[in-house]
Structure 1
Amino acid sequence: MLKRSMTEKQLKIRQQAFALSVCTVIFMAVYNLCTWHATSLGYLPSFTFDFERSIPFVPLSIVPYMASGVFFCLVFFSCKNKNQLKILTWRMLFVIIIAGIFFITVPLRFSLTKPEVSNSILKLPFSFLHTFDSPFNQSPSLHIAFAFIFWSVFKDLTKWRMFLMIWLILLGVSTLTTYQHHVIDILTGAILAHVSFIIIPYRKKNPKYRSCWLANYYFISGWILILAALLLHKYFATEGLILLLPALIMMIIGYCYQKNTGIISQFMPTVKQNMYQSEKN
């Protein structure tokens, strides 16, 4: 019995290591191909909103930003079963490939000038980024898409859950404060992640997870409305920011569905009952 248990554990580790290896190879291939394509084009445009020039450069935020690589490896070994590992792998491959298509068809570059880093310790990771990363492959941000996918696994952990959530939030913020991404990259990265949740659902046949799956439609609507509000504000008038209100409502509804708080489930039967009574009368 003990020998069988050890074999199953080793098999699981091999599966996790294999999934990590596949995603790493595909990521490196797609990312480097897109970088090569961008450098061959010469001039590349960038897209920024006016308020982005007010975003401060925070050298210390390079720490959570670089942690994405650690999470990339850790998340595969945090899966509790084969199904979760399979869903994680397909989601990672999906966002990598779709993002790569956008990097090639709509190439963008980061445009803000990155200040010099005086701290000798923090200067090392920035030097690493300068050497191995590039100002291309911007929208959608894979850092953001990955962060959402990481959380879809980490949220089921009993230990370190709150720590990981805070760190992933800092990771998302750091994409802006390290001057690696623009706001449009963040929004499109979030949209891409939620698209992957809809197309590749976890436990699709389990009714318990249906509300979580539906929540992603509201989250996507919220992110799209935020993007639309900023675009209307940029190109037309300040009144476009009114779309932030329905965006907030979509996010709240999505949160209620995801947490299965009962607000929606209690509200909908009441609506149906009232409609039935109206037809009856």
Structure 2
Amino acid sequence: MTEKKLKIRQQAFALTLCTIVFMTVYNVSTWYASSLDHLPSFTFAFEKNIPFLPLSIIPYMASGFFFCLVFFSCKNKYQLKILTWRMLFVIMTAGIIFITTPLRFSFSKPEVSNDILNLPFLFLKKFDSPFNQSPSLHISFAFIFWSVFRDISKWWFFLMISLILVGISTLTTYQHHVIDILTGSIIAHISFLVIPYRKNNLEYRNFHLANYYFLSGWILIFAGLLIDFYIGSEGFILFLPAVATMVVGYFYQNNIKFLPPFVFTVKQNIRQFRKN
């Protein structure tokens, strides 16, 4: 057996495993939610201004294609193992939340006049329940997919734009509320911290630090919106530190020195002093 065949078999096994776990968790959660007499929903006031865009069903449905593609985009066994564990962690964590705090989508979906675009909407109506909303697995998966796709040299920009469109489509197809996007983002970054890539490799130290900043940013945005919802607009003050932490995370992830040279000189002098 060649290494290529062995690798493909492992990728196919990982894809099959995650698919089976996903289908099991999703269907069990759906069955439980449908058995309840009342299911609440949670929406922010500004969500009423989000437009319904039928064309966005294309990137929304493309998430299934990326679900399959990402396993065959891994470059080595270790990357495949990390991807698989992250996917399983997110699926199982989401399943627990689906059962303990079930939510449903509350907006009525407009009719789609285009017969071709209406087909995937009919498919969603039949096979995709309005339950299992928060966290959005479309969002969690998109972040995890990107952790692999960003290493693809030729297609990374196209894949990045595609995943961004997947994220936007969760709202514009009227499949998810904003709270689902926030919780999906938070769980994805928790998976990066719980299951780090090359934890003991100093070359990836900045990546690990970046995930702490990104997670903090998402939590601050979530907290700000919740404060605004329950108390008042004072919550929006948290958006400033949220943006700041996201920017710092971006700099760490891309190895950009965002501190002034004077600060680096002081830090180097302190390290040298400690060594002496």
The two structures have a TM-score, normalised by structure 1, of 0.94
Deviation at 1:134, TM superposition (A): 0.5
- State the alpha-carbon separation in 2 of the partners of residues 45 and 253 from structure 1: 36
Partner of 2:189: 194
1:64 matched to 2:53? no
Partner of 2:254: 259
The equivalences for 1:1-281 within 5 A come to 7-263=2-258, 269-270=264-265, 272=267
AA partner of residue 16 (structure 1): Q
Q: Is the 8 A contact 1:257 1:264 kept in 2?
A: no
Quickly say closer, same or farther: Cα 1:265–1:135, change in 2 above 3 A: farther
- State the alpha-carbon separation in 2 of the partners of residues 108 and 271 from structure 1: 51
AA partner of residue 143 (structure 1): H
Deviation at 1:268, TM superposition (A): 5.9
The two structures have a TM-score, normalised by structure 2, of 0.95
Name the SS for the 2:130 alignment partner. Answer: coil
Deviation at 1:158, TM superposition (A): 1.1
1:197-246 deviation digits (Å, cap 9, x = unpaired): 01101111110101101111110110011011111111111121011000
For structure 2, the 5+ residue unaligned runs are none
Deviation at 1:276, TM superposition (A): 8.5
- State the alpha-carbon separation in 2 of the partners of residues 273 and 73 from structure 1: 46
Quickly say closer, same or farther: Cα 1:211–1:266, change in 2 above 3 A: farther
Superposition CA RMSD, Å? 1.9
Name the SS for the 1:117 alignment partner. Answer: coil
Q: Using the TM superposition, name which of 124-133 and 225-234 deviates more.
A: 225-234
Moved over 3 A (4+): 264-277
Deviation at 1:24, TM superposition (A): 0.3
Q: Is the 8 A contact 1:233 1:239 kept in 2?
A: yes
Count of equivalent residues: 274
Quickly say closer, same or farther: Cα 1:267–1:12, change in 2 above 3 A: farther
- State the alpha-carbon separation in 2 of the partners of residues 268 and 21 from structure 1: 50
Deviation at 1:266, TM superposition (A): 5.7
1:243-278 deviation digits (Å, cap 9, x = unpaired): 10000000000001101112259676445468789x
1:175-218 deviation digits (Å, cap 9, x = unpaired): 00000000010001000000000110111111010110111111
AA partner of residue 19 (structure 2): T
Quickly say closer, same or farther: Cα 1:207–1:126, change in 2 above 3 A: same
Q: Using the TM superposition, name which of 208-217 and 256-265 deviates more.
A: 256-265
Quickly say closer, same or farther: Cα 1:44–1:26, change in 2 above 3 A: same
Q: Is the 8 A contact 1:47 1:108 kept in 2?
A: yes
Deviation at 1:90, TM superposition (A): 0.2
- State the alpha-carbon separation in 2 of the partners of residues 271 and 151 from structure 1: 36
Quickly say closer, same or farther: Cα 1:156–1:273, change in 2 above 3 A: closer
Quickly say closer, same or farther: Cα 1:196–1:143, change in 2 above 3 A: same
AA partner of residue 196 (structure 1): S
Name the SS for the 1:180 alignment partner. Answer: coil
- State the alpha-carbon separation in 2 of the partners of residues 12 and 267 from structure 1: 49
Name the SS for the 2:63 alignment partner. Answer: helix
Percent identity, aligned pairs only?
Answer: 71
